[in-house]
Amino acid sequence: MTTIDDERVAAGALALHLPPPEAAASKNGEFCALELDDGALGLSYVLLGGILPRLAASDDPHTIVGMDALQLAREFAAPAAGAGGDAEIRRTLGFAAANALSRTVMERIGFAPPRATDSIGGIDPQAGDHVGMVGLFTPLLKQVTAAGAQLTVIELNPDYAGHYDGYRVTLDAAALEDCNKVLSTSTILLNHTVDDMLAHCRNARRIVLIGPSAGCLPDPLFARGVTVVGGSWITDRAGFIDVLRRGESWSGFAYKFALGAADWPGLPENR
């Protein structure tokens, strides 16, 4: 991720907000929110490896209060391979901290990302396209296949592998090399597979990375060939926290954004 100068973004962790356990079966229970003492919120996915119940049962939500956010964000850089137990939890919290600090930076430079015009990051599937989808976005399948595009989905879960009406699901990320457009879940940032996945996207002219936790500074992603980053921009902090903790929809308290390289002014030192 882009280096952030300590003095410019000094902030501490104020609170960790978790959805209720009963919401884990719905999209309203998939993310936690780390709140900094400057009001910034950063999201992180909590359903990998059963993180949500483990977080709820741990002391981490309390022990991180007052912790330097930049120090916590460094936990995100911990190696994913072979990590388990506390390391997975700290990496999840570190990712939330990195996203929260990114929000702080964007606020300080007076930047807010543009609203998305669709739910697939403007990937604009057309007949003749071969679209790669990293992560099975079931609600988005028809938007791709209805346009007449060929669709290949890359999944980690072998239970989903196979051929379906209008698309196929494979465990082999090398299948992305045949795709001219790629739509990926932002979870590849959290599980540290982003570099491996993007290495297979060398033939794609459009690479879109989307998900509520795609809130980090986009510079390193654009440098790796990502063309659009799509996430959730929180507009009402108090309202968002309230509905997240109750396992209800965020739609009234955040909007979906689609940020392209041309939209992003870059950090001040890069201008």
Provide the terminal-to-terminal Cα distance of the chain, rounded to the nearest Å.
18
Tell me, what's the pLDDT at 86? 79
Average pLDDT over residues 243-256: 95
Residue 270 banded pLDDT, cuts 50, 70, 90: low
pLDDT digits (tens, 9 = 90+) for 191-204: 999 999 999 999 99
For residue 135, the 8-state DSSP code is S
Say which range, 80-84, 111-115, 206-210, has the weakest mean pLDDT: 80-84
Looking at per-residue confidence, does 271 or 145 come out higher?
A: 145
pLDDT tops 90 at residue 207? yes
Tell me, what's the pLDDT at 63? 83
Tell me, what's the pLDDT at 26? 84
Closest CA to 48 of 184, 213, 217: 213
pLDDT tops 70 at residue 168? yes
Output the furthest CA–CA distance in the chain (Å, rounded): 54
Using a cut of 0.95, tell me whether the model's pTM lies above it. no
- Tokens 């739910």: give the residue: 119
CA distance 199 to 202: 6
- Percent of the chain clearing pLDDT 70 (strictly above): 92
Tell me, what's the pLDDT at 61? 76
Torsion of CA 10, 5, 45, 265, to 10 degrees: 120
Write down all domains in the chain, each with its CATH number in brackets. Answer: 12-111 (3.30.390.10), 113-236+250-263 (3.40.50.11590)
